[in-house]
Chains A and B, each alone.
Chain A
Amino acid sequence: MSQGLFVWSAIVIYIALGIAVAVMARRKLGSGINDFFLGNRQIGGFVCALTYAATTYSAFMMVGLAGLTYKLGVGALGFELTYLCGLVLVVFFGPRFWLVGRRFDYLTHAELLADRYQRRAVGIVAAVLCLVFLIPYAAIQVMGIGYLLAGVSKGTIPLLGAMVLAILVALVWSNIAGLRSVAWTDALQAVIMLLASLAALGFLAYRGFGGFGNFFLKMDEEIPQLLAGPGLFKFNVFFGLALPWLFFSVSNPQVTQRLFIPKSVTAFKQMIGGFLVFGFIYTLVSVLWGFGARLLVPALDQADKATPALLALPIIPKAIAIIVMVGILAAAISTIDSILLTLSSMCARDIYKNGINLRASEEMELRVGKGVIPILAIIFFVFAYWAAGKKGLAFMIAPLSAAASAGLLMGVPAIIGAFFWRRATAAGALSSMVGGAILVLALQVSGSKPLGLWPGVWGLMVCIALYVFVSLCTRPPVQKAKEFLQYLHEALPKGNFV
């Protein structure tokens, strides 16, 4: 069987399996917008943990993070583990999101903000912020698939064809049963991602180096420059990349929406615990994969090609290489369909229902949400196609991801303030999001880093200053703040939440 045919067969099996799972999920689909976008807040802990993992971890890990490790060394491990440690924000904020989500029936975090600050414009701006900055993030998933499939199939599957395939699969899976089909297929994909990457690492270590001991010894001997301190990372690069990722769990709507879905406290605990274990293993595997590539294929022109190059080596059996490829494909598609679904829910609830047509029925709202999904998919594809033609660090997958997260970071002060600061106002939230986002966009487009600090760092400083200053100068929504915070004040101790 030729390489191309082998790759295509694996992809067909993977897609068929995913469709079967999505169709099974559809049997549980009820009616209404909450059911379609939140699984009626009744998702079990196991599926929650895996959908959280599959949504968070994407093509970035085995392609982008491995590439970053290949190029800049051990700092990539620190940068990604800083993100994982950022999950402490879910430990603090997750129960708050979950409690108020059930109490006030929120569909998105933008709706939470609009209600808490008592101004619809806050929700609309938060939704637009997510739309603007998640497009590059979703597009890099599509790019990742393009690079990978074209590399592994040795060109049999063209870059363009691979990107079209990814978009179509995400589109179908998110449409079949909304969050239920996305969550169930995510669970399947998370298992594939983890098992495939572990198997590949095993072959890399034992067939490439004769075991993990020798692997580490080779790292010490041949690439010491990538192990000393943070490797080749400069502090400002490390900080600029890590800071937005630290807040990823409360800034990215596809992740915050998952804080609304566990059916119980136990399911919530299982979601966090399961994700932490998954994330630790998957991060370690991805980074070691990058180091392995640096030792075995040291002269690549683009670091993002490290994974395809490694999979093409004879030490990785063809079947394992194909399974890994499917694992990475799964990682990317599970992120794309989650983003598609979350952004469409924001378009339906925060922009259409709360902005354009206040009298829209739930049925109409749901129709708008479903209608937006293919439009977003086309936008993702166009951006990915444009970005895939660029070269250099600025268009590497990791910095593109961090740039997207830097923009989403501008919603964080308003989100944190909503839970803790009675005095916070809608004007403060609006000015911080708009001011911060404009600054981040301007710095990213111009490519400037004043004093060596990255756009996200500057944006966050300005954003916090605006949020505090403008809030202090304007009138807070006293009644809502009291109701919102009083409810949490009473509910949190009962559940022993911190």
Chain B
Amino acid sequence: MGKLFWGWIAWFLFLFALDFTIPFIGFKHVPKVTGSFLFWILWIVVAIASMFLIFFRWRENYDNNEEDHP
């Protein structure tokens, strides 16, 4: 597991930290659609885009000896 792995782990931990804090603190006194509602939508769009960035790089040749396996 290299730097890339731990970098992505750190990034997603940061995103989860935002998820569990921002709406409870930052938008506590914003009773509007533009508060927590919009925050969570933008938050998940960033998270989904990050996941796409990770798995777009995957390749087929994961196992050069695949025919040996069941």
Contact = CB atoms under 8 A, between A and B. Distances in A.
A420 B32 CA distance: 43
A491 interface: yes
Interface in A132-168: none
B30 A228 contact: yes
Contacts of B40: 74, 77-78, 81
Contacts of B33: 216, 219-220, 227
Contact of A494 (B5, B41, B63): B63
Interface stretch (A98-106, A373-381, A399-407, A424-432): A98-106
B23 A272 contact: no
A102 B54 CA distance: 22
Nearest to A270: B55
Contacts of B54: 91, 498
Nearest to A266: B60
A82 interface: yes
Given A85-B16, A235-B24, A491-B63, A227 B48 contact: no
Contacts of B16: 82, 85, 246
A88 B27 CA distance: 26
A289 interface: no
Nearest to B43: A81
Interface string B53-66: 01111111111101
A371 interface: no
Contacts, number: 141
Interface in B20-70: 20, 23-24, 27-33, 35-37, 40-41, 43-45, 47-48, 50-52, 54-64, 66, 69-70
A74 B37 contact: yes
A228 B39 CA distance: 12
A78 B15 contact: no
Contacts of B19: 78, 81-82, 85
B37 A496 contact: no
Given A85-B16, A276-B51, A78 B60 contact: no
24 contacts: A74-B35, A78-B23, A81-B19, A84-B44, A85-B47, A87-B51, A88-B47, A88-B51, A92-B5, A95-B58, A105-B70, A216-B33, A227-B30, A227-B36, A228-B36, A229-B23, A229-B35, A230-B36, A266-B60, A268-B58, A276-B48, A280-B45, A492-B62, A494-B62
Contacts of B48: 84, 276-277, 280
A496 B43 contact: no
Given A228-B27, A230-B36, A491-B63, 10 more contacts: A74-B35, A219-B33, A227-B33, A228-B28, A228-B30, A280-B44, A494-B59, A494-B63, A495-B62, A498-B5
Interface size on B, as a range, is 35 or more
A81 B60 contact: no
A65 to B, nearest CB: 13
Contacts of B57: 496
Interface of B: 4-5, 8-9, 12, 15-16, 19-20, 23-24, 27-33, 35-37, 40-41, 43-45, 47-48, 50-52, 54-64, 66, 69-70
B29 to A, nearest CB: 6
B32 A265 contact: no
Q: Which 8 pairs between the two chains have the least Cβ-Cβ distance?
A: A495-B62, A224-B31, A228-B31, A229-B28, A81-B44, A105-B70, A85-B47, A216-B33
Contacts of A84: 44, 47-48
A478 B40 CA distance: 44
Contacts of B4: 498
Interface in A228-256: 228-231, 235, 238-239, 242, 246
Given A266-B60, A495-B62, A230 B23 contact: yes
B30 A272 contact: no
Contact of A269 (B9, B28, B56): B56
A376 to B, nearest CB: 28
Nearest to B64: A494
A272 B51 contact: yes
Contact of B58 (A82, A230, A235, A265): A265
Contact of A229 (B36, B55, B62, B70): B36
Nearest to B56: A269
Interface in A403-441: none
A264 interface: yes
Nearest to A277: B48
Contacts of B59: 265, 494-496
A85 B49 CA distance: 11
B27 to A, nearest CB: 6
A266 B57 CA distance: 11
Nearest to B61: A494
